Amino acid sequence: MIGVLLIALGGALGSVLRFGVITLTYKFFDINFPWGTIFANLIGCLIIGIIWAVLDTFDEPKHLKLFLITGLLGGFTTFSSFALENFNMFRAGEIKLVAANILISNIAGILLVFVGYYLVKQAIQLLK
């Protein structure tokens, strides 16, 4: 139960931090391009790499991983988890799996955004 609470607390904090990064970014950059999201994703990738190196080197408690990676970075950006999974497959020599994961996640993900959007638009038109 403590693990769930740590994930929830980390997730809440990560979400607030993401909101802060995005809000701050849009004060300095063009709002017609998703700089805030890009910065949040890239910052999250840097932080997950740092945390993973520490956790990989030292015997840290499981609860720390739950709070920092699953909670904090999960709330801040799930892209960092995607990047870490690819990094770990790359380190294991699974280059084809890395390529497949990147292609499937990006192409299918973007395609499914279109599918979801247009399915709902069609349903709304049918209900009118």
DSSP 20-88: HHHHHHHHHS-TTS-HHHHHHHHHHHHHHHHHHHHHHHS---HHHHIIIIIIIIHHH-SHHHHHHHHHH
- The predicted structure's pLDDT at residue 120: 93
Mean pLDDT across 18-22: 94
Given a cut of 90, is residue 5 above it in pLDDT? yes
Could you identify the residue written with the tokens 């999201």?
A: 37
Q: 99 to each of 44, 67, 89, 96, how far by Cα in Å?
A: 21, 29, 10, 5
- Tens-digit pLDDT profile for residues 112-121: 999 999 999 9
- The model carries a pTM of 0.76
Mean pLDDT across 7-17: 98
**Residue 105's pLDDT band (boundaries 50, 70, 90)?**
very high
Given a cut of 90, is residue 67 above it in pLDDT? yes
Mean pLDDT across 75-87: 91
